[in-house]
A = this chain, B = another copy of it.
């Protein structure tokens, strides 16, 4: 019995033409440890946007029912040459109900259950998913479980990473994001120091209500002074940044170094001996990262991605992390959505222009059957 349904695809041609469209698809039967999930909700995360709208000129795109066609200007188009001509699915994660399973025991055990999953084509009415990556949601709604993977596991990953590196404090450059709020709750629960950088007073209030003790507003005149004080107080010489472009990382390194130099008893031409570590885990700003020569040589900057981290962390740690997410889905790991759209509504100009700005606290949820 073939299962058919709607699915989103995104295709970039070599000439820079980006076509994002809903198509009717026949889904294969699940085999082995695969399950077929009837998808009920999938978030649009920043990590989904690159492949959805990338550097495309969506303002001047051509919109029609269930489809838009836009141009990706150079050099963004050339930078995406690895995907030229490929018709790609989109949507890292979502939640739905398992309607069929392969022969594997783990898969068969999930039939009829609502699960959170990470299929990579979550903007679809059905998905094939790996049973080992499915999280049974019990009585939770699909909306409550839709974002149970990317943000929760990333926020927990930061804390695991910090602990593995012997750190007991973290700096986060976009504190008020959905992920930042989770990180705030996790750090509070685990007794990890946390410096949250935000851009508005309302975000300071939001995080302080969550129990954050060190929230610094980058719009304040004496931002650097407050940032240094927060780093000194917590010992956060280790941080995570989803902005990527511009000088967000540079600002963090500069503040860390200024705190470290102040604590030195002797001048060193090479800067402090305090190791400073930052990770870029997103590209909210797709411009270049700019690092000024202001903090000596005792620093390390890396890209950070969830899946390579989970692979290196090993199964025991991942199992523990997932259990914690499931047990605290509507508290520590709760997500909030500004708007719900179906697959067709997701490709209207109004929606695209709004979710591509990735405003803090304004996440979209795709509900493929609504």
Contact = CB atoms under 8 A, between A and B. Distances in A.
Interface of A: 50-51, 79, 82-83, 86, 88, 244-245, 250, 261, 264, 267-270, 273, 280-281, 283, 286-294, 296-305, 307-308
Contacts of A50: 269
Contact of A288 (B83, B261, B293): B293
Contacts of A302: 299-301
B301 A305 contact: no
A88 B303 contact: no
A124 to B, nearest CB: 17
Contacts of A250: 288
9 closest A-B pairs by CB: A297-B303, A300-B302, A289-B291, A297-B305, A51-B269, A288-B292, A288-B290, A301-B301, A83-B267
A297 B304 contact: yes
A281 B273 CA distance: 15
B269 A83 contact: yes
A293 B244 contact: yes
A155 B288 CA distance: 30
Contacts of A283: 293
Given A88-B267, A301-B302, 9 more contacts: A82-B264, A245-B293, A283-B293, A286-B293, A290-B290, A297-B303, A297-B308, A298-B305, A300-B303
Contacts of A304: 297
A300 B280 CA distance: 10
A11 B296 CA distance: 19
A289 B286 contact: no
A267 to B, nearest CB: 5
A286 B294 CA distance: 10
Contacts of A291: 288-291
Contacts of A292: 288
17 contacts: A82-B267, A83-B269, A88-B267, A281-B297, A283-B293, A288-B291, A288-B293, A289-B290, A297-B303, A297-B304, A297-B308, A298-B305, A298-B308, A299-B302, A299-B303, A300-B300, A301-B302
A308 B274 CA distance: 11
Nearest to A262: B82
